């Protein structure tokens, strides 16, 4: 498995996540598509496209971001969380609760 740096809010690298190459490729593809959607939305606003149409595209983009989050959360649960629990690190549960709360705010 390949390592991907996990960056905290201040940009410092602290822990690593291990995603199989196929998962990283899938996530990158999804994020590239989302990036294109965002550019498209920006263009729609610049061209004064009808608000409802822009909102529809925003909704689709949010859904795509949620899909990325679900994939990452599943990998985190099955990998990082299980590993840390097996090492006796119960603090990962508190971290997971905070992460889920952040996702639910959306």
Task: For residue 43, give the CATH number of its domain.
Answer: 1.20.58.1000
Backbone φ and ψ for 71, nearest 5 degrees, come out as -65, -45
φ/ψ of residue 80, rounded to 5: -55, -50
Residues 65 and 34: beta-carbon distance below 8 Å: yes
Q: What does each of the 106 residues of the chain score in pLDDT, given as a tens digit? A: 334 444 444 444 457 777 889 999 999 999 999 999 999 999 999 999 999 999 999 999 999 999 999 999 999 999 999 999 999 999 999 999 999 999 998 6
Q: Are 33 and 64 in contact (CB under 8 A)?
A: yes
Domain count, the chain: 1
- Rounded CA gap, 61 and 63, in Å? 5
E strands, 20-73, are none
pLDDT, residue 25, reads 97
Q: Domain span at residue 90?
A: 2-104
pLDDT of residue 106: 62
């Amino acid at each position: 498995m390949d390592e991907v740096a996990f960056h905290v809010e201040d940009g410092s690298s602290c822990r690593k996540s291990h995603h199989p190459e196929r998962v990283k490729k899938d996530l990158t593809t999804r994020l590239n598509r989302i990036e294109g959607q965002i550019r498209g939305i920006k263009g729609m606003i610049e061209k004064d496209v009808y608000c409802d149409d822009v909102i529809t595209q925003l909704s689709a983009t949010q859904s795509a971001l949620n899909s990325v989050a679900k994939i990452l959360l599943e990998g985190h649960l099955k990998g990082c969380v299980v590993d840390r629990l097996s090492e006796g690190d119960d603090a990962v549960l508190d971290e997971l609760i905070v992460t889920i709360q952040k996702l639910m705010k959306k």
